[in-house]
Amino acid sequence: MTIKEQPKPPRFRIIANILLSVSGLFLLLNLFLPSLFASGPAGVPYSLFIHQVQEGEVSRVSVGQNQIRYQLKTENAEPGAVFVTTPIFDLELPKLLESKGVEFAAAPPPKNTWFTTLLGWVIPPLIFIGIWQFFISRGGGGQQGVLSIGKSKAKVYVEGDSAKITFADVAGVEEAKTELVEIVDFLKTPARFTQIGARIPKGVLLVGPPGTGKTLLAKAVAGEAGVPFFSISGSEFVELFVGVGSSRVRDLFEQAKKQAPCIVFIDELDAIGKSRSSNGFYGGNDEREQTLNQLLTEMDGFAAGDATVIVLAATNRPESLDPALLRPGRFDRQVLVDRPDLSGREAILKIHAQKVKLGDDINLKAIATRTPGFAGADLANLVNEAALLAARNQRQTVAQEDFAEAIERVVAGLEKKSRVLNDTEKKIVAYHEVGHAMVGALIPGSGRVEKISIIPRGMAALGYTLQLPTEDRFLMNEEELRGQIATLLGGRSAEEIVFGSITTGASNDLQRATDLAERMVTTYGMSKVLGPLAYQQGQQAMFLGNGGAPNPRRAVSEDTAKAIDGEVKEIVETAHEQALEILKQNRDLLEAIATQLLETEVIEGEKLHSLLSQIQPVAKETAGFAQS
């Protein structure tokens, strides 16, 4: 919707390079100017000068630091003519001159010092500024000229704008909406909260895949609250000129404070908020860092009392954000804006279908059923495609078959962009996730299963099982760790049982399970065979940082290495057996939950708990697994 500015750095970079080299040139000039100005008549080779002295032709000599000026006797040259030579280091010269009766003296300091100084140090900067001005005046005409550096490019949408967006325009993200309703209350009646001493949140981070309606939600908050809405994209902060980003942030907040209460919306926060440590090496982006620092300062700066400026930001890569941004007092609230489920998709379709003329045969629910994994923007696009097709087919209204064709088109386009599963894949993912959930539900230490979903999410996951710990855990025992490994293997085990074959989908699970098992053996000393020794160097940074690759091993003997591998394998295989057993024992329930999941795509909350509570524990419980 917003017009993307063309990437411009290359052109500006060239200009900046020119400016830089021009200024470099002036510095050089600066060094050489004095001598340039001081040089007078043409030089004479020093050897000739010495020769002339020895021949007694020289009458007067003035010895300077960098040159020697001299006059010849009248019979040898025109009166008044001055010759110049460049001296070489010659201590014998005074003696020679004296012996030849030449009148000599040290040269007076050059009398035009002030003038060359002026030329050397004042003029070049002036020229430099002149060139700068020239570029500024040239760029000033365009909307993205150099003149606008420093000036915030924020677009302001004020209440009363023709297209006022409200929560009614957003669907399928009910949880996010509920959270944002509170923000609207803050904006409308801040006094109600400040009176009892509550601190109004400053920053709310909308997190979710592209096209799920984050920008839309932010506008809806502004629309509902009836406050101005400043919007700027993170990538617009990051420009070539150092310091521009930070001054832009300052400007933006200055403007915003004047209009408080209001909303500042920063889209693509990750463009400036990338973790500073993740820049790697120096040469990281100084400019971005300054911009980020300025943003942090501004967010710390406005106190609760004076102005209600709420900063909303959107990102689809929360994991890359600098932790400093997520601290309390900054973006301390995070709202998940996920891809919509079946009923959400239907609601979104309903919103967008209002803009087109629908035929009588339209069944939005059927369309929603066929579009798992579509985000809101994809659905909006789908409605438009269908309308285009109808128009092309000379129809007055959009028919169901237009939608059918449009889905195929959009899916083809999406298949590369994101993941749209075919029916078989969807089925496999459903059983896989139910496998995780069922093993996880029965096993100690792996938290309560809160949600299973086969709506593709993020970049890696085709489906997911959400487990919430029932309490904060800092220590885990061996049995719980083994339980976690079994849960990780639950997905693959379900695939094995139901389909008899394994897909590539479980690779991340296996990786994590193996890492965990290896850590049990080499870091936590949980192996009877290897004993309480740490075979890894250094401390593992995170206790259960999933996926964090194990530290390099200490130098161990070949036998020990073999033993470690054996132990890791034993742990993983035992867990695998355990998962298989649980699922085999509860095969009917596995089928039932998977069938239901395929229908609704998401099962969560009470419904999920009651389903999972029907699991029968394996008869010969724990026998042989924790001890083996």
Q: Which residues bind Mg ion (CB under 5 A)?
A: 215
Angle at 440 between CA 439 and CA 446, to 5 degrees: 145
- Closest CA relative to residue 512, chosen from 436, 615, 458: 436
CB 371 within 8 A of CB 407: yes
**CB of 33 vs ligand ADP, minimal distance in Å:** 57
- Closest CA relative to residue 309, chosen from 204, 235, 155, 435: 204
* Residue list 319-348, contact with ligand ADP (CB under 6 A): 348
Angle at 72 between CA 70 and CA 78, to 5 degrees: 115
Strands 448-453 and 229-233: unpaired
463 forms part of the interface with Zn ion (CB under 5 A): no
Which of ligand ADP, Zn ion, Mg ion, none interacts with 270 (beta carbon under 5 to 8 A by kind)? Answer: none
Count of residues near Zn ion by CB under 5 A:
2
- The sign of the CA dihedral 54, 60, 63, 66 is negative
Residue 230-249 contact track with Zn ion, rule CB under 5 A, x = bound:
--------------------
Count of residues near ligand ADP by CB under 6 A:
18
Active site annotation includes 433: yes
Side chain identity, residue 163: A
**In sequence order, what are the beta bridge partners of 262?**
309
- The sign of the CA dihedral 381, 385, 386, 390 is positive
**CB of 202 vs ligand ADP, minimal distance in Å:** 21
Which of Mg ion, ligand ADP, Zn ion, none interacts with 491 (beta carbon under 5 to 8 A by kind)? Answer: Zn ion
222 forms part of the interface with ligand ADP (CB under 6 A): no
215 forms part of the interface with ligand ADP (CB under 6 A): yes
Q: What angle do the packed helices 286-301 and 244-258 form, to 10 degrees?
A: 20
**CB of 501 vs ligand ADP, minimal distance in Å:** 37
In whole angstroms, what is the distance from residue 177 CA to residue 224 CA? 11
Q: Which of 179, 346, 496, 509 binds Zn ion (CB under 5 A)?
A: 509
DSSP state of 337: -
Query: Which of 298, 433, 496, 601 is the catalytic position?
Result: 433
Q: In what order do the strands lie in the sheet with 602-604?
A: 464-468, 448-453, 602-604
CB 429 within 8 A of CB 594: no
142 forms part of the interface with ligand ADP (CB under 6 A): no
Which of Zn ion, ligand ADP, Mg ion, none interacts with 563 (beta carbon under 5 to 8 A by kind)? Answer: none
Q: How far apart are the first and last CA of the chain?
A: 60
**CB of 420 vs ligand ADP, minimal distance in Å:** 17
CB 315 within 8 A of CB 207: yes
C-beta closer to ligand ADP: residue 335 or 516: 335
261 forms part of the interface with ligand ADP (CB under 6 A): no
From the number of C-beta atoms within 10 Å of its C-beta (0-12, 13-18, 19+), residue 447 rates as middle
CB atoms within 10 A of CB 612: 21
491 forms part of the interface with Zn ion (CB under 5 A): yes
* Residue list 375-394, contact with ligand ADP (CB under 6 A): 376-377, 380
CB 537 within 8 A of CB 554: yes
Which of ligand ADP, Zn ion, Mg ion, none interacts with 273 (beta carbon under 5 to 8 A by kind)? Answer: none
Which of Zn ion, ligand ADP, Mg ion, none interacts with 388 (beta carbon under 5 to 8 A by kind)? Answer: none
Interface with Zn ion by CB under 5 A: which range of 237-245, 256-264, 504-512, 536-544?
A: 504-512
CB 220 within 8 A of CB 159: no
Residue 164-203 contact track with ligand ADP, rule CB under 6 A, x = bound:
------xxxx------------------------------
Interface with Zn ion by CB under 5 A: which range of 155-163, 381-389, 466-474, 491-499?
A: 491-499
356 forms part of the interface with ligand ADP (CB under 6 A): no
**CB of 210 vs Mg ion, minimal distance in Å:** 7
C-beta closer to Mg ion: residue 215 or 487: 215
**Three-class DSSP category at 251:** helix
CB 238 within 8 A of CB 249: no
234 forms part of the interface with ligand ADP (CB under 6 A): no
Write out the residues near ligand ADP by the rule CB under 6 A: 1, 170-173, 210-216, 314, 348, 351, 376-377, 380
Catalytic residues: 433
Which residues would be at the binding site for Zn ion (CB under 5 A)?
A: 491, 509
